[in-house]
Structure 1
Amino acid sequence: MKRVVAVFRQQKFEDVKRALLAIGCEGMTISEVKGRGRQLGVKESYRGSNYCIDLIPKTRLELIVNEDDLEDVIDTIIESARTGEIGDGKIFVSDVEEVIRIRTGERGSKAV
């Protein structure tokens, strides 16, 4: 099993969610986060004053998937979250040793 963490633009969340549901990926955890990468923030003007918002609001999506589904999930997130502009986000993939469903005690891929 793999853990997929994707951080991307907030305005792309509905597109990503809809695309993941279309491929049968239903379980997900969503968080609103702030951060920055190469984008280094956004310069804004307000009432004649210039300022920089250096921590940009983003959406963090976490999924646990079976290895057989990993590439489909990654491709789906990329296709639905991409705008082609700097700041589109990142996807992180890591191994998951064990998953346990609390309600039933099921373990492994049955719990996903």
Structure 2
Amino acid sequence: MKKIDCIIRPEVLEEVKRELNKHNIHGMTVSQVFGCGLQKGKKEIYRGNELEISLLPKVKIEIVTDDEYVEEIVDCIVSVARTGNIGDGKIFIFEALDVIRIRTGERGKRAI
């Protein structure tokens, strides 16, 4: 099993969810986060003063899946979230040692 953490622009979240749903991928956790990378923030004018905003709003999607679906999920996310500009986001893939469904006690693939 793998855990996929994906950091994307907030404006593409709904489209990413639609694309994942088309491929019968429904289980996910979504969080609003702030971060910076190569984009290094942005400058804005507020009441005549220039402010540098170093942490930008992003969305984090977490999905735990069977190994065989990892590339399909990554392809879905990239196909929608890629604009070609700095700040499109990142995808991290980790080993998930086990999953336990609290309600039933099921473990592993059956718990996903």
TM-score interval (norm. to shorter): over 0.9
One-letter code of the match for 1:99?
A: V
- Aligned equivalents of 2:102, 2:44: Cα separation in 1: 47
Cα distance in 2 for partners of 1:34, 1:45 equals: 20
1:7 CA displacement = 0.4
Structure 1 Cα separation of the partners of residues 64 and 106 of structure 2 = 15
What fraction of aligned residue pairs are identical, expressed as a percent?
A: 46
Counterpart amino acid of residue 98 in structure 1: D
Alignment correspondent of 2:70: 70
Aligned to 1:45, the other structure's residue is in SS state: strand
Q: Tell me what 1:8 maps to.
A: 8
Residue 46 of structure 1, CA deviation: 2.7
For residue 84 of structure 2, what is the aligned residue in structure 1?
Answer: 84
User: What is the SS of the residue equivalent to 1:44?
Assistant: strand
Normalising by structure 1, report the TM-score. Answer: 0.96
SS in 2 for 1:39: coil
- Report the Cα distance in structure 2 between the residues aligned to 1:108 and 1:76, rounded to whole angstroms: 24
Runs of 4+ residues over 6 Å off in structure 1: none
Q: Which runs of 5+ in 2 are unaligned?
A: none
Look up the match of 2:18: 18
Give distance in 2, aligned partners of 1:19 and 1:76.
6
* Aligned pairs, number: 112
SS in 2 for 1:33: strand
Which residue in the other structure is 1:98 paired with? 98
Query: Within 5 A, what are the aligned runs for 1:21-32?
Result: 21-32=21-32
Q: Give 2:103's aligned amino acid.
A: R
Query: What does 1:25-44 correspond to in 2, within 5 Å?
Result: 25-44=25-44
For the residue of structure 2 that corresponds to 1:72, the secondary structure is helix
Distance 2:103 2:48 in 1: 57
Q: Structure 1: state its 5+ residue gaps.
A: none
How far apart in 2 are the matches of 1:54 and 1:74? 27
